[in-house]
């Protein structure tokens, strides 16, 4: 079978963020609770024009440009999201138009909370492995705007952003292992968003336990599959986790190490080596739901790809509700140079900081956004949601 995996990645984030230390002060909480206790220093804040479609389109455009992808070779576009803009028309259909993808292309949206992107990635992998792709590539999108109520416990764990990935044969970044993964599912109410609400509801501490239980289940299933395929699990040298906030990844790693019989001290030592780098970019953005695991992967590659060429890394995807998957991949030879050329972190460096009153005004303004009449905006060439005309959403061309 040919090598199949993630050929290239690009990120998009909203134009502004808040400092969590400032949010903590405004909420009367010690800043150390958010920054050290939760492990997040900045939180991306999406304005009304930066919806899930706009963020995804900007990530995909950047991907095509940086990685020199020919859009006419995309045979499938899947958008994973839990903050979609329509009950019927998928984000992928908007992207198909905005990006000028070929008509001979399958396009749809996937949903299972933060797992939606991984569901698409696994499908893309199987589509290529089965031979159906016939040399074409899949465009895999993860895009979300994470929102909890203002002044709630979840507020410091919001964020927004998109990750675009090309899945193909002979990938330049990460070879995946079709058929070797471990799944876990269970019907729980840890986190959900009723149809009438723009803000998620969450049983916070219970959701942490659900995540850890799912990790144990998926990891055990993956270990078995990996062993049967002839791999030793010690071959994993780095681990990326779904990152609702940095501390969750640390808890996850401790849990996984305890399953492997390691002490807390051993787990914390290996966290520094195996996990910490993957949290650098997420700690500046917050939870981006479907894209969180893949932003962690981008962070790991941004800082360590050259040293990791040929090495195997583990990936854990969790979606509330819940479902989870553990899988692994090998960093491709040459990935160090290729990743350097991609400038993965550049979009984060181009942002501006919002004050807390600015952030609260942005949140207050976007409640009626889905009915807002079209208005012209200055967005420096970025794709933006302009408003609604004749019951249709309108985006910049
Ligand atoms: P909370 O109850 O306000 O916080 O909410 P806490 O009291 O549990 O404190 C958090 C940590 O800060 C604790 O550390 C404290 O000790 C520490 P831990 O015990 O966990 O190691 N702390 C301090 N540290 C330093 N200085 C201080 C200080 N004070 C306390 N002064 C919670 C926390 C995460 C529950 C809340 O933010 C929340 O509900 N968030 C949303 C839910 C969530 O993110 N869940 C994660 C698992 S579920 C998941 O990942 C799926 C999801 O992404 C959705 C999807 O799938 O679509 C959410």
Confidence (pLDDT) at 397:
72
Which of 25, 27, 31, 37 has most ligand 1 atoms within 8 Å of CB, for mutation?
Answer: 37
Residue numbers of the chain with a pLDDT score lower than 50:
none
Confidence (pLDDT) at 48:
94
Confidence (pLDDT) at 128:
98
Structure tokens at 102: 């070929």
Looking at residue 332, the DSSP 8-state letter turns out to be P
* Span from the CA of 184 to the centroid of ligand 1 (angstroms): 23
Nearest CA to 246 among 282, 285, 195? 282
Strand spans (E) along the chain: 4-12, 16-19, 42-45, 74-80, 106-110, 137-146, 159-169, 174-185, 191-192, 201-202, 236-241, 312-319, 323-331, 352-353, 385-389, 392-395
Residues with Cβ within 8 Å of 88's Cβ and at least 6 positions away in sequence, in order, are none
Residues with Cβ within 8 Å of 84's Cβ and at least 6 positions away in sequence, in order, are 52, 90, 91, 109, 111
Pocket of ligand 1 (CB under 6 A): 30, 32-33, 36-38, 82, 113-114, 153-154, 157, 190-191, 202, 204-205, 207-208, 211, 242, 244-245, 247-248, 287, 289, 318-320
Given 19, 109, 112, 114, the catalytic residue = 114
Confidence (pLDDT) at 1:
77
- pLDDT tens digits, residue range 212-236? 999 999 999 999 999 999 998 789 9
Looking at residue 55, the DSSP 8-state letter turns out to be H
Confidence (pLDDT) at 376:
87
Confidence (pLDDT) at 243:
98
Confidence (pLDDT) at 209:
98
- Ordered structural domains, the chain, with CATH: 4-395 (3.40.47.10)
Confidence (pLDDT) at 2:
87
């Amino acid at each position: 079978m040919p090598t199949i995996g993630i050929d290239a990645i690009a990120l998009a984030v909203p134009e502004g963020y808040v400092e969590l230390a400032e949010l903590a002060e405004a909420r009367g909480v010690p800043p150390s609770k958010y920054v050290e206790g939760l492990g997040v220093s900045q939180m991306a804040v999406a304005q009304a024009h930066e919806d899930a479609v706009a963020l995804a389109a900007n990530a995909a455009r950047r991907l095509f440009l940086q990685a020199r992808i020919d859009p006419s070779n995309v045979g499938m576009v899947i958008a994973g999201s839990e903050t979609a803009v329509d009950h019927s028309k998928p984000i992928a259909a908007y992207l198909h138009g905005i990006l000028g993808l070929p008509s001979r292309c399958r396009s749809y949206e996937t949903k299972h909370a933060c797992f939606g992107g991984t569901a698409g990635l696994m499908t893309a992998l199987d589509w290529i492995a089965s031979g159906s792709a016939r040399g074409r590539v899949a465009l895999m999108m993860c895009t979300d705007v994470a929102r909890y109520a203002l002044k709630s416990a979840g507020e410091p764990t919001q964020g927004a952003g998109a990750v675009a990935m090309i899945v193909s044969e002979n990938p330049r970044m990460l070879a995946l292992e079709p058929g070797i993964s471990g799944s876990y599912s269970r019907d729980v109410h840890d986190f959900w968003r009723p149809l009438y609400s723009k803000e998620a509801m969450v049983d916070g501490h219970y959701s942490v336990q659900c995540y850890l239980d799912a990790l144990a289940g998926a990891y055990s299933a993956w270990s078995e599959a990996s062993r049967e395929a002839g791999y030793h699990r010690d071959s994993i040298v780095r681990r990326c986790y779904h990152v609702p906030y940095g501390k969750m990844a640390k808890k996850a790693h401790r849990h996984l190490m305890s399953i492997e019989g390691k002490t807390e001290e051993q787990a914390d030592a290996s966290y520094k080596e195996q996990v910490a780098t993957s949290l650098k970019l997420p700690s500046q953005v917050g939870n981006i739901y479907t894209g969180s695991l893949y932003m962690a992967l981008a962070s790991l590659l941004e800082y360590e790809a050259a040293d990791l060429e040929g090495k195997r890394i583990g990936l854990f995807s969790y979606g509330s509700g819940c479902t989870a998957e553990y899988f692994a991949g090998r960093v491709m030879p040459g990935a160090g140079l290729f990743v350097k050329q991609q400038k993965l972190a550049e979009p984060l460096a181009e942002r501006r900081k919002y004050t807390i009153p600015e952030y609260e005004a942005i949140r207050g303004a976007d409640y009626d956004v889905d009915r807002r009449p079209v208005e012209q905006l200055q967005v420096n060439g970025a794709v933006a949601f302009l408003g609604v005309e004749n019951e249709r959403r309108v985006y910049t061309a």
